[in-house]
Copies of this chain bind each other. A is one copy, B any other.
Amino acid sequence: MRCEIVAIGTELLLGQIIDTNSSWMGEQLAIAGIEHLRQAKVGDNLERIVVCINEALERADAVIVCGGLGPTQDDITREAIAQVMGVALVHQPQVAEVIRGLFASRGRVMPENNLRQADVPEGAILIEQRTGTAPGLICPVGDKVIYAVPGVPYEMKEMIERAVLPDLVRRSGAPQVFVSRVLRTWGESESRISELLDPRLVALEVGGNPTIAFLASGIEGIKVRLTARSATRAEADALLDAEEAEVRAVLGDHVFTNEDLPMEAEVGRLLVAQGLTLAVAESLTGGLLASRVVAVPGASRWFRGGIVSYAGDVKTDLLDVPEGPVVSEAAALAMAASVRRLMGADIGLSTTGVAGPVEQDGEPPGVVWIGIAGPDDRAAIRIQLPGDRERVRQMAVISAMDRLRRRLLG
């Protein structure tokens, strides 16, 4: 079973929208074990869309067409697929009813052009619309198949997961469940993690079950993705549980979550569990640490606030940083202790360092001091990060959160 993806839309060619849909679908196909060798983007032109789908269908067994299912005149994917299938478009009154109902339920008048979405190629199976107005399509062409899904990302994802992937897996003749679990790690480089897991990679090999894949994701940490296939979800979960235990035995507390959540969510979980609150003092990260914390749902339960001390005398006057270099252990300790006191928090966390491009206080770009102050303890560590200003800032944020996580773990 080979699958290709065709993304429709002149705005994709013009660079007005970046085609993240194809990337996401490619990843899902890989996880599901469906071979996938080509992707194409083509503009809103009937002849060119027909040619593009035909070419893909010659090479592959299945083609996913994404976009061009909307109500406007330049949404012509339905017409193109009908041409490829050699059939007419047929008006489906029950689809029109659903669209009318959607508008009515939102108290809005339906523009008439929405009814175009009820015209579907003869012989196509509908994928019911649940989040948008356009239904998806499963269109048999001989022993091959064309799927059509909307270009709106959340509508597309919902239909791919609910209807397209199950149909593809069924057609591929391997009635299996694919389940993935992502362990996120911090504290070692991707190459070191790969080295540490090498015995597991050999044990599992290509085509093994489960499989392991790595993905360096910058501020999100290094992701280790385990994928198991089995006849049932329960069996797949059992395989993943066993493999996760093996990986954790090697990587220890470098693994900070198995729920694909950011570091700050895990820190929040630990703080809530221990009944503690946090305040942050930032120099080089300049508010980035605080802004990531407040993006965690429910952060108000454990986050008190922060101080961005960008100017040197703000550090000395407001945060009692002693005179001297501000990229230093003394500065990191004073910042953490002072923000803890000023904000009435249980724990203060601080960052001070050199984002670059030039050195500061005799320290080269990438050097960051992280300070942590609790009710009875203070500590600071010095780390060296790679990359440009923006990357150093991002890495400093996850590194600071990771230090706090390890302290909370004891």
Judge whether B38 and A38 touch: CB under 8 Å.
no
Contacts of A299 in B (CB 8 A): 310
Contacts of A52 in B (CB 8 A): 38
Contacts of A389 in B (CB 8 A): 295
Copies held by the complex: 2
Known contacts: A291-B291, A308-B305. The answer to whether A27 contacts B38 by CB under 8 A is no
CA distance A15 to B217 in the complex (A): 13
Task: Check A372 for interface membership: any CB of B closer than 8 A.
Answer: no
Judge whether B307 and A303 touch: CB under 8 Å.
no
Judge whether B289 and A344 touch: CB under 8 Å.
no
Task: Check A125 for interface membership: any CB of B closer than 8 A.
Answer: no
CA distance A55 to B17 in the complex (A): 25
Known contacts: A18-B18, A36-B13, A55-B55. The answer to whether A303 contacts B310 by CB under 8 A is yes
Judge whether B45 and A30 touch: CB under 8 Å.
no
> What's the minimum C-beta distance from A175 to chain B, rounded to whole angstroms?
24
Minimal Cβ-Cβ distance residue in B for A55: B55
CA distance A218 to B289 in the complex (A): 22
Known contacts: A306-B308, A343-B318. The answer to whether A15 contacts B41 by CB under 8 A is no
CA distance A287 to B287 in the complex (A): 4
Contacts of A295 in B (CB 8 A): 286, 389-390
Judge whether A294 and B307 touch: CB under 8 Å.
no
Judge whether B311 and A304 touch: CB under 8 Å.
yes
CB contacts under 8 Å to B, within A18-33, are 18-20, 22-28, 30
CA distance A393 to B290 in the complex (A): 13
Task: Check A102 for interface membership: any CB of B closer than 8 A.
Answer: no
| In the complex, per-residue mask of A106-137: 1 if CB is within 8 Å of any chain B CB, else 0 | 00000000000000000000000000000000
Query: Which of B24, B282, B344 touches A314 (beta carbons < 8 Å)?
Result: B344
> What's the minimum C-beta distance from A120 to chain B, rounded to whole angstroms?
26
Judge whether A344 and B313 touch: CB under 8 Å.
yes
Contacts of A28 in B (CB 8 A): 15
> What's the minimum C-beta distance from A302 to chain B, rounded to whole angstroms?
10
Chain A, interface size category, equals: 35 or more
CB contacts under 8 Å to B, within A281-298, are 282, 285-291, 293-295
| Residue picked from A28, A285, A291, A295, most chain B C-beta under 10 Å | A291
Task: Check A40 for interface membership: any CB of B closer than 8 A.
Answer: yes
CA distance A224 to B306 in the complex (A): 37
Contacts of A17 in B (CB 8 A): 23
> What's the minimum C-beta distance from A48 to chain B, rounded to whole angstroms?
6
Judge whether B13 and A37 touch: CB under 8 Å.
yes
Known contacts: A287-B306, A314-B304. The answer to whether A24 contacts B13 by CB under 8 A is no
Query: Which of B16, B26, B48, B309 touches A14 (beta carbons < 8 Å)?
Result: B26
Contacts of A43 in B (CB 8 A): 37
Judge whether A18 and B20 touch: CB under 8 Å.
yes
Task: Check A257 for interface membership: any CB of B closer than 8 A.
Answer: no
Judge whether A37 and B48 touch: CB under 8 Å.
yes
Minimal Cβ-Cβ distance residue in B for A318: B342
Which are the 5 A-B pairs with shortest beta-carbon distances? A15-B27, A287-B290, A286-B294, A287-B287, A287-B291
Show 23 residue pairs from A and B whose CB-CB distance is below 8 angstroms, ordered by the A residue: A12-B39, A13-B26, A14-B27, A14-B30, A15-B26, A17-B23, A18-B19, A18-B23, A37-B42, A55-B55, A277-B311, A286-B291, A286-B295, A287-B308, A290-B310, A294-B308, A300-B310, A305-B310, A305-B318, A306-B307, A306-B308, A308-B308, A314-B344
